[in-house]
Chains A and B, each alone.
Chain A
């Protein structure tokens, strides 16, 4: 157990819908990262937050957004969902930013 929690574990929804994925980092970690894992793209970095502020952005679609709240938990919002958004979404956290990242168990999103 890495100490990073993610909810829900599984999510099944329809195209065009919007979902919110939640992540709670390890106690004391200020930095949160979101990654997408799919069969065709592999593991891709989406976005990073550090102490409530966006720090780095990767291959995140405009339909996707994220935020980190004052209690340091983070949410990833996915809207206008498409079949291709079906993937495993991981949250990771680290103490600051320049150190190892600990991954949560992931949320498996299925878009039908």
Chain B
């Protein structure tokens, strides 16, 4: 069965510090990988996506993610966190073989301290 694991439920970082949110997946097909962000009471906004090609992908708001097939990981990074980055982050996996439905991780809540 397809699954996505985000091992960190909460992460707290200081403003200006670097950030890495972890995501591991288990999928029986060639995956497409996504990171979404959700602010309280809001919908999901796409940060970045990986379909194929360069394994380091750039997204909006200064985020990037690296696909590592050997580790089944797609970790999200940002070199310097801003207070406005406080939100919940979801890793998601899809595949054409499964009708492109997205399977989401449980989410990681990011807190930013000043």
Contacts and interface: CB of A to CB of B under 8 A. Distances in A.
Interface of A: 2, 4, 31, 33, 35, 42-45, 48, 55-56, 58, 90, 92, 94, 97-106
Contact of B90 (A31, A43, A48): A43
Given A97-B96, A101-B46, 14 more contacts: A33-B102, A42-B107, A44-B104, A48-B99, A55-B99, A56-B100, A92-B102, A94-B100, A100-B46, A101-B34, A101-B94, A101-B100, A101-B102, A103-B45
Q: Which secondary structure dominates where chain A touches chain B?
A: strand
Nearest to A91: B43
B3 to A, nearest CB: 11
B101 A45 contact: yes
A93 to B, nearest CB: 12
B98 A104 contact: no
Nearest to A44: B104
Interface of B: 32, 34, 36, 42-46, 49, 90, 92, 94, 96, 98-107
Contact of A56 (B34, B36, B90, B99): B99
A97 B100 contact: yes
A48 B46 contact: no
Most chain A Cβ neighbours within 10 Å, of B34, B36, B101, B103: B101
B44 A90 contact: yes
Given A43-B90, A98-B96, A33 B43 contact: no
B38 to A, nearest CB: 9
Given A98-B96, A100-B34, A105 B102 contact: no
Most chain A Cβ neighbours within 10 Å, of B42, B43, B102: B43
Contacts of A31: 100
A97 B99 contact: yes
Given A100-B46, A102-B46, A48 B100 contact: yes
